[in-house]
Amino acid sequence: MALDTRAAAARIVGDVLSGKSLNQTLPPALEKVAPRDKGLLQQLCYGTLRQAPRLEALLNQLLDKPLREKDRDVHGLLLCGLYQLEDTRIPDHAAVSATVAATKALKKPWAKGLSNAVLRRFLRERDSLLTKLPEAAGHAHPQWLFDIINEQWPEQANAIIDANNAQPPMTLRINARRGNRADYLLRLNAAGIAAKEGDLSPQAIYLESARDVLELPGFETGDASVQDEAAQMAALLLAAQPGERVLDACAAPGGKSCHILELQPALGELTAMDLDPQRLERVQQNLERLGLQASLIAGDGANPPPVLAAQSFDKVLVDAPCSASGVIRRHPDVKSLRRQNDIASLGAQQTAILQGLWPLLKPGGRLLYATCSILDGENNSVVNSFLKATDDAILVQPELTWGVTAGVGRQLLPNISGPDGLFYALIEKRQLL
């Protein structure tokens, strides 16, 4: 029997607010709802979590007292109900009725009256409740993140926040080994799929609306992949040359590794490493679909396995674990899961990875440091400290027309109709005398 869609969304949202990621909780539920309801379930989960700080602030006004931890599913249901009333085209009566009915599927009959009362009160007092929201909550951001975005990016803050709250575009990367962008755009047009060129990457295409990948011409045979345009800049900046040995040190799910191989067919070798062996399976799947080969190894960048010899790589890509503050629109659970004190601990982890991988780079080789963050504590501060502490590390500053200068690196900021927010810094190892 298929799951009730709103009850499933309620459990997922409740679990995320209790500390689980959307990537953990959503996929199993998608397998259990009716096929026709999969889209609705994704909309309810992503939409509710994208607006969670605002919806939480509204719910706090509507509840006399917080719900108990064991009733986090009811809490999630109320947030989903408010999302439907505030941010979807679902008629108010239908949203209220379906949300109230979901209490039965949750096996929480006592919540029927509460859900009905909360949602109907919101409809009666909507304008008054909205005017009482704090500024950060009104913009659907946790206070700490709202403050730091405005502090570090005062001129771009409004655009960043708007992009964070929007549904992201679906962006493709054309396989340079199998064709060019102009030809693939013609194939998309013939298939009735509206699309346009990206502005930064010569392989980037933006779809007018998201599609199932199986609808894309030649997807199964490797003609194209889904990858944000900002992420595509990594392979372009790394600029791997014929015969070089390249290490992608935090490789999963493998998009950047595959792009490097697509751009340089004469590469000597690419090694894709990731801490999680299960995530390496995704890398292998992507390589196989694209007809590419790489050496896969499980390992920690901060303490690389001995099989990776010192000074054995010409290029190293470090796509470091980070807050994901630059890709919130794709991972809206970040708003609920991240805390301000995470940034310092992530910065320490990123520094340890740089220090652990640096010995693997040959003199004259280059390391590209990348994060999907827009926060200085994970970007400029990390790289600048590493440069100051590492005698044979020198900054490379290529002439770039995209992004903005961010200390020692280059920052792409989330664009509502363009790329995600990613940071890049290029470092060369010089020969010490």
Question: Which residues are identified as catalytic?
Answer: 372
Counts for the chain of helices (H) and strands (E), in that order:
17, 13
Round to whole Å and give the CA distance between 281 and 296.
9
Integer angstrom CA distances of residue 405 from 384, 389, 418: 14, 22, 18
295-298 vs 404-406, strand pairing mode? unpaired
Task: Record the tokens describing residue 401, joined without a space.
Answer: 């027309």
As given in the structure block, the two tokens for residue 206 are 């933006």
Reply yes or no: is the peptide bond before residue 91 cis, omega within 30 of 0.
Answer: no
Single-letter amino acid, residue 305: P
What is the 8-class DSSP label of residue 168?
Answer: P
Asked if 375 contacts 403 with a C-beta cutoff of 8 angstroms, the reply is: no
Q: DSSP state, 155?
A: T
Backbone φ/ψ region at 345: left (φ over 0), alpha (ψ -120 to 50), beta: alpha
